């Protein structure tokens, strides 16, 4: 989604960026739904892990939705100035939600990596979540 946000910032491909961001939000919400439907209670720290993943994906979806709304605003009259998108409330809300998502992904990665080491599974970085 970094490319879509960069497109919005640069006033490029705004309709496609908005679509990509909305699609990403939908996928993240589907991950939350799928996670709530699986049993992970045998994993150590399973409650903390599922909480961190749920918060991360919900915040990411929120950020994507805010950035998509920003793309829509930017496509409107006076949305761009000298090839750069104007900062709006949607931009700021997206940035806040993105910060929450990053923090929660870091927590989730740390929890997962402890489990992965113990059981010989693949470790993950925050950006892989």
Q: How many domains does the chain have?
A: 1
| Mean pLDDT score, 61-69 | 98
At 71-88, the pLDDT tens digits run 999 999 889 999 999 999
CA distance 4 to 12: 9
pTM over 0.75: yes
CA dihedral 106, 34, 92, 99 (to 10 degrees): 0
Instruction: For CA atoms 30, 36, 37, 41, give the dihedral sign.
Output: positive
64 has a pLDDT exceeding 80: yes
107 Cβ neighbours under 8 A, 6+ residues apart: 48, 52, 56
Q: Mind giving me the DSSP string for 38-92?
A: S--TTSTTHHHHHHHHHHHHHHHHHHHHHHHHHHHHHHSTT-EETTEEPP-HHHH
Q: Does residue 1 register a pLDDT over 90?
A: no
Reported as a pLDDT band with limits 50, 70 and 90, residue 67 is very high
Q: What percent of the chain has pLDDT over 70?
A: 100
Q: How much is the average pLDDT of 21-48?
A: 96
Give the structural domain span for 62: 2-128
Please give the structure tokens belonging to residue 20.
Answer: 């990509």
* Segment 88-103, tens digit of pLDDT: 999 999 999 999 999 9
């Amino acid at each position: 989604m970094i490319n879509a946000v960069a497109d919005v910032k640069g006033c490029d491909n705004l309709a496609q960026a908005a679509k990509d961001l909305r699609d990403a939000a939908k996928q993240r919400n589907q991950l939350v739904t799928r996670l709530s439907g699986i049993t992970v209670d045998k994993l150590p720290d399973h409650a903390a892990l599922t909480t961190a993943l749920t918060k991360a994906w919900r915040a990411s979806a929120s950020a994507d939705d805010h950035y998509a709304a920003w793309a829509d605003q930017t496509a409107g009259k006076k949305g761009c100035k000298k090839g750069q998108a104007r900062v709006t409330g949607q931009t700021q809300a997206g940035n806040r939600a993105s910060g929450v998502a990053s923090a929660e992904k870091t927590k989730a990665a740390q929890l997962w990596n402890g489990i992965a080491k113990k059981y010989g599974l693949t470790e993950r970085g925050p950006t892989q979540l």
